[in-house]
Structure 1
Amino acid sequence: MRRRLVAVAAAMSVLGASACSTEIQGEIRSEGTIAGLPITHFESGMKPSAPQPELTIENVSNTEDDRLAAAAIADVSAFWAEQFPQHFDQPFEPVGKLMSYDSNTDKIDVCGATTADVAMNAFYCPPEDLVAWDRGTLLPLLREKFGPMAVVTVLGHEFGHAVQYRLGPKAGVDQQTSTIVKEQQADCFTGAYFRWIAEERSQYFDVSTSEGLNQVLASLFFIRDSPGQSHAADGAHGTAFDRTYAFQLGFEADAAKCATIDQADVDARITERPFDPDDAGMGDITVNDQTLGLLQQSLDESFAGAGVPGPKIVNQGGSCPGGVSTPPASYCEDTNTVTVDMAALAELGQPIDREAEFTGQGSGGLGDFAAFAEVVSRYVQGIQVGLNVPVDNANAGLRTACLVGAWTAAIDHPGAALRPSPGDLDEAIAELMLPRSLISADVNGHPAVNGFARIEALRLGYFDGSGACSSKYP
């Protein structure tokens, strides 16, 4: 986050009331649906009954990752064979060439790229109509960290690029089309493909709408641009916030909607941008008493229009002696305070170590915004309690994540006590992907069921404001 010395009020609209219920503390809520589909819980991956793919793959091995890749390619090809006539009134021409390689041992010279260029990568090469993937490093890393559906995600994305070049003007893609537009379309096409799998139309894969989609979104988070990159840069893929938006758009709409993504659409909503000159510390500030004081100032001004006293943020251990505790930050209704465990928040607020993400040996820090957003989530519980809005019903966790998004957008203006920096929204997404996310939890610490619904709620508040939070999550 960026800190400023002068604050300007940013009033936000306030919620209306609805009915109340209670639940055992700690249980993850499973009410509702995910984009109109039932919430399901099972191990996602290849079906035991999956057929043997009939594909010609250059340099293919008998490894688990190549078997998974071959099934993914056969499956996404079947998806597009169905979708092209349905949405674009033309047949789908199969990709002309498929290639597997091991960047640790193979000498690669394809599409003008060398082994060094394609290590830890998967790509589509238009001149050769080629989809290729690194079975030596990339695929096993994704499978081990996020499960088999992460491999399917990457190859589904690369086929999305093949789709663009087959559609041409129907997707608005030509040699002048920016990288970010092509990447957003490919992520959206991937979302449409995964909807097809979730609807049980795939011969090869099953994906649950809870843990399975979490694997997919986690892999999109993992393969994101670093904070401070401009979306206008050649090679830009987007932030995790931008990538998950495009995937969810495809999952909730269809492939035809994905083909409408153009430069104007991207310019209007994309969040990837360079750091400002005054972004000291590459966008991360220390979480301490002073910066939580700035957070208090920001929240009080943002919610001044609510007409109720906002809770005070106090460094008193993160637990409520007389009520439910959700450390490292808890809303204590009897004292109207948000009590925090400063040491735990400061640890959470350590910058994300991008190199350590590949090894799993990082400090556990998710960035300053993840820590601040957890406190914000408890503060908005107090605002809602003051307005007699229930904070322990099925919608409360998603409404909370939505309000955190609305506050984030409302403070993004010159002169604010705190302003979001590039990468902050991705830090919030990292927290939302935690099994026990506090940003998406009700007052008792019950998180919403999965990352898909949580991220969607944050995004709704960010783009549409707090009024949308009460409408969507009454």
Structure 2
Amino acid sequence: MRSATASHGLTILVAVGVLATGCSSTVTGAPSPANGLRMDVANSDFEIVGSTDSEIDQTARNALADINDYWSQVFPDVYETEFEPLTGGYYSIDPDDFDPDDYPNDIGCLDDDPENVANNAFYCFPQSGGGGDNIVYDRTLLEALAADYGRFLPALVMAHEFGHAVQGREAPPSELSIVYETQADCFAGAWTGWVAEDNAKHFNIRAPELDDVIRGFLLLRDEPGTAAEDDRAHGSYFDRVSAFQEGFDSGAQACRDNYDDERLFTLAGFSSDDDGTGNVSYEEAVVISDRTLETFWESAFDEVGQQSFVAPALVAFDGNAPDCGGEPVERDISFCPNDNTVAFDESDLTQVIAEEIGDFAVTTAISLPYALAARNAVDRSIRGSEAISAAVCATGWFAARFYLGSLADSSTISPGDIDEAVIFLIEYGSRREILPEVGLSGFQLVDVFRQGFINGGADCGIFGS
């Protein structure tokens, strides 16, 4: 986020995937601590050349077996033709312990150099001279992802790469890397939704268990400031998580239809004003939040023909929240209808997230009770899960207007700001002192935010259903 005069801030991360010429790369019964793996079925013997008896290669075998099952069922409905299995095979490689005698002479896109798959996984599109149509992965990368985020994330990497295999069988959606990559994320989400419906033989997972999975996407995003037109762009954190959630919610048909050069992406390069950071000071972030939220809601009320919006006053506190109507408040952010105030705990929340996440996390936090003020202004309930979900959705709506420059304000969104909203919702949103009564995981909260960002406020439930 930046004002008309200044900006300072933070950058995070690494992207583990690249798009090489001819290759696209990245990344039981009841759910159990095995991170999505069913414990009551036999492991698959799916063929992966170079694979070991290790846990991670077995995870990959199970994942690829289920992914092939999914696409053999879904592909004919989506593309009106039978799915043709990959002709080039699947390969597990440890770049630091590579014996060429264990592999064929020509693994598509590897070019006989195991370093080409180090910290990576890729699908190699069919090559003009023959070969390709294969998936290769660095098993040490998958081991690291599994250790930090659970064994479903390596399965998701396989589903993403298989999404590229689907692209290799149909007309390309675009020449832009970011379109290819986010469509593959969408396909991975569609497979995950199928798994969550208890259709897969080896995996089962529920939406509330996906928080760690989408935390892993933070490692796979492009660094803030990367241009969407970059020939290796994969997308911002929001772009990638949003694509995954679209597939999860709407299936492979939506992935086929909704990815082209017209799609809105939040990945963007820094302007000269950003100075490669994009963050303002904490104090300025609060001022900008107050000003832009008032501007947004005044405009929203005008658009639907409601009475004039009376903006709530912002009240900062440290540790002990002010009472509301004589009753104690035990939350770090809250709206009090008695005096039309939005209160936020600086020492325990907003200053912390400004430092840990960034300035737009502060704006996101303040926006949530601010949206409840809007519901209260039209005599709608501000209690319970419906009201809280409406506030999250409306925060996505506000963020989109801010991002698109549709607010009558000189402040603008910086690269990475929408990612900060996602991080805040995942890491803080499901805490009782932040969003009580909502009953949603971080994954589900981000999905509600996404709906508001993509579709606007019509379905958010601020002014009525």
TMscore range, shorter length? 0.7 to 0.9
Q: What secondary structure, in the 3-state scheme, does the structure 1 residue paired with 2:212 have?
A: helix
Q: Within 1, Cα distance between the matches of 2:243 and 2:77? A: 21
Q: Where does structure 1 lack aligned partners over 5 or more consecutive residues?
A: 7-39, 351-364
Change (3 A) 1:383 1:81: closer
Shift, 1:425, TM fit: 0.9
Could you say which residue in structure 1 is the equivalent of 2:20?
none
Matched, 1:194 2:192: yes
Aligned to 2:24: none
Three-state SS of the structure 1 residue aligned to 2:42 is coil
Instruction: Please say which of residues 396-405 and 104-113 is displaced more in the overlay.
Output: 104-113
1:343, distance to aligned residue in structure 2 (A): 3.5
8 Å CA contact retained: 2:374, 2:462: no
Matches within 5 A, 1:230-309: 230-266=227-263, 269-280=264-275, 282-288=277-283, 290-304=284-298, 306=301, 307-309=308-310
Structure 2 partner of 1:380: 371
Give the C-alpha shift of residue 329 in structure 1.
Answer: 2.9
The answer as to whether partners of 2:185 and 2:244 remain within 8 angstroms in 1 is: yes
How far did 1:369 drift? 0.9
The TM-score normalised by the length of structure 2 is: 0.81
Paired residue for 1:120?
119
Aligned partner of 2:143 in structure 1 is 140
The answer for the alignment partner of 1:320 in structure 2 is 322
Report if aligned partners of 2:375, 2:463 keep a CA contact under 8 Å in 1. Answer: no
Measured in 1, the distance between the counterparts of 2:462 and 2:317 equals: 35
Q: Are the structure 2 counterparts of residues 66 and 94 from structure 1 closer, same or farther at C-alpha, using a change threshold of 3 Å?
A: same
Choose 148-157 or 123-132, whichever is displaced more: 123-132
For residues 145 and 385 of structure 1, the distance between their equivalents in structure 2, rounded to whole angstroms, comes to 42
1:337 aligns with 2:341: yes
**Shift of residue 210, structure 1, vs aligned partner:** 1.5
Equivalence for 1:348: 353
What corresponds to 1:65 in structure 2? 56
Give identity over the alignment, percent. Answer: 29
C-alpha distance after superposition, 1:101-150 (max 9, x if no partner): 223443789524544442221111123222111211x2122212221211
Given the alignment, which residue of 157, 160, 170 partners 1:157?
160
Task: Please report how far the alpha carbon of residue 92 of structure 1 lies from its aligned counterpart in structure 2 after TM superposition.
Answer: 2.4
Equivalent residue letter for 1:347: V
Deviations 1:76-123 (A, max 9, x none): 011112223333233323222211122344378952454444222111
Amino acid at match of 1:139: L
Answering whether residue 2 of structure 2 is matched by residue 2 of structure 1, we say yes
Q: Identify if the C-alpha distance between structure 1 residues 84 and 436 changes in structure 2 by more than 3 Å, giving closer, same or farther.
A: closer
Runs of 4+ aligned structure 1 residues displaced above 6 Å come to none
The within-5 A match list for 1:70-89 is 70-89=61-80
Query: What is the deviation of 1:303?
Result: 2.2
Q: Is 1:311 equivalent to 2:302 in the alignment?
A: no
Note the C-alpha offset of 1:292: 1.5
C-alpha distance in 2, partners of 1:472/1:76?
A: 42
**TM-score scaled to structure 1, two decimals?**
0.79
Q: What amino acid maps onto 2:393 in structure 1?
A: C
Q: Is 1:99 paired with 2:101? A: no
Deviation at 1:428, TM superposition (A): 0.7
Query: Which secondary structure state, in structure 1, belongs to the residue aligned with residue 229 of structure 2?
Result: coil
Output the CA distance in 2 between the equivalents of 1:326 and 1:313: 17
Quick one: distance in 1 between partners of 2:428 and 2:315? 26
> What does residue 202 of structure 2 align with?
204
State the SS of the aligned residue for 1:215. Answer: helix
1:123 aligned counterpart, secondary structure? strand
Instruction: Compute the displacement of 1:238 (Å).
Output: 0.9
Instruction: State the number of aligned residues.
Output: 415
Distance in 2 of aligned mates of 1:329 and 1:197: 36
Deviation at 1:472, TM superposition (A): 10
CA contact (8 A) 1:320 1:330 kept: no
Question: Which one is further off, 368-377 or 429-438?
Answer: 429-438
Q: Take 2:462 and 2:371, find their aligned partners in 1: how far apart are those partners?
A: 16
Between 114-123 and 185-194, report the one with greater CA deviation: 114-123
Distance 1:51 1:265, change over 3 A: farther
List aligned pairs for 1:26-37, cutoff 5 A: none
> What's the C-alpha RMSD, in Å, of the aligned pairs?
2.9
Distance 2:288 2:240 in 1: 31
CA contact (8 A) 2:225 2:416 kept: yes
Aligned match of 1:407: 398
Aligned residues of 1:329 and 1:338 also touching (Cα < 8 A): yes
Whole-angstrom CA distance in 2 between matches of 1:427 and 1:107: 43
Distance across 2 between alignment mates of 1:76 and 1:374: 38
User: Tell me, which stretches of 5 or more residues in structure 2 are unaligned?
Assistant: 7-29, 101-105, 302-307
Partners of 2:221 and 2:330 lie apart in 1 by 30
